[in-house]
Amino acid sequence: MGAAFFYHLTEGPAEELLPQLLGLAGKQGWRVEIRGRAARAMDRLDAALWRMGPPESFLAHGRAGGPHDGMQPILLTAEGEAAPKLPCVICLDGAEIAPEEVQAAERACILFDGFDEAAVQAARGQWKRLTGAGCAAQYWAQEGGRWTKKAEG
């Protein structure tokens, strides 16, 4: 049974944390779905991943809807787009994840902007829904360049 890890971003955007999370998932041998709310935002992330870092650190990925979705190590989806069930799901921009998905995955990560009150409230709502449904959850906050676990449920 998986767990939901909430990451409260206060020192940089999600794009700065993604390479670290994706690297850790890769070390576990997990394929990853990165889920956003809007297709346009996921298209921008797709373009950013192509340019991110030096060539040797390239993160192989694809956008949902292609013929090779089932083979992508990192699959970018928007809410409502079909995706295979993958061991790790990373939700951005308030994208929802159901308790059943968290429980079926190895790990679910919910990244939210700590300076956006609507994003903070959405994350609080997700925490309540997921823990209320029996999902294990951890809340991590950025402090001085490090991640600190603040709560567990």
CA gap 43, 35 in Å, rounded:
11
Residue of 17, 1, 3 lying closest to 111 (CA atoms): 17
117: Cα separation from own chain's centroid: 19
69, 62 contact by CB (below 8 A): yes
> Whole-model pTM above 0.75?
yes
Q: What is the DSSP string of 52-81?
A: SS-GGG----EETTSTTGGG-SEEEEETT-
CATH topology for 3-152 is Rossmann fold (3.40.50)
74-110: per-residue pLDDT in tens? 999 998 888 889 999 999 999 999 999 999 999 999 9
Q: Can you give the residue ranges of every domain in the chain?
A: 3-152
